[in-house]
Amino acid sequence: MICGLCHTENPAGAATCSKCEKPLTIGCPSCKAQNDNAAKKCVKCGFDLSKMDLALELIDKAKKSLLEKKIDDVAQYLKEAKLYWPHHPDVITLENSLKEFSDRFGTIISAISQDINNKKFRPVRLCVP
């Protein structure tokens, strides 16, 4: 089997290239069909395999942004990543985390708004040195 990335000949049945150590086949994230490691499109469904690395970079950026509580950035990175790898497990996990964060934030805002409408103001003590 010849590696599509470095063109090294590998023994039949090898899972990774003996030279570059990359997997010799990649599974399509859309239909799960096995493709040559240099394939640009899935042989079965035509899914664009060339952007999978970009999707992984965007997913990593979304994870870092979530840790930094940069919610708008998380949403943007996920939106872009979904274009390249829509059903990646980390995309789904991050979307769920983003929804949980939004739900919690919405609950807090709703409670504050309700207190303001009911004129339940909380006393504030000023500390002046």
Are residues 88 and 110 located together in one domain of the fold? yes
Q: Range of 60's domain?
A: 51-117
pTM listed for this prediction: 0.62
Angle at 71 between CA 69 and CA 98, to 5 degrees: 100
What's the domain count of the chain? 2
Are residues 66 and 105 located together in one domain of the fold? yes
Q: What's the CA gap between 4 and 9, in Å, rounded?
A: 10
Question: What pLDDT does residue 105 have?
Answer: 83
Question: What pLDDT does residue 113 have?
Answer: 83
Q: Residue 36: which residues within 8 A CB-CB, separation 6 or more?
A: 4, 24, 25
Average pLDDT over residues 5-27: 90
Are residues 56 and 39 located together in one domain of the fold? no
Classify residue 67: in a domain, yes or no: yes
Q: What is the pLDDT of residues 24-54, one digit of tens each?
A: 998 888 888 999 888 999 999 998 888 888 9
Are residues 39 and 97 located together in one domain of the fold? no
Map residue 26 onto helix, strand or coil: strand
The bridge status of strand 34-36 relative to strand 25-27 is antiparallel
Classify residue 62: in a domain, yes or no: yes
Are residues 83 and 29 located together in one domain of the fold? no
CB atoms within 10 A of CB 78: 23
Q: What is the pLDDT of residues 59-90, one digit of tens each?
A: 999 999 999 989 999 999 999 999 888 888 89
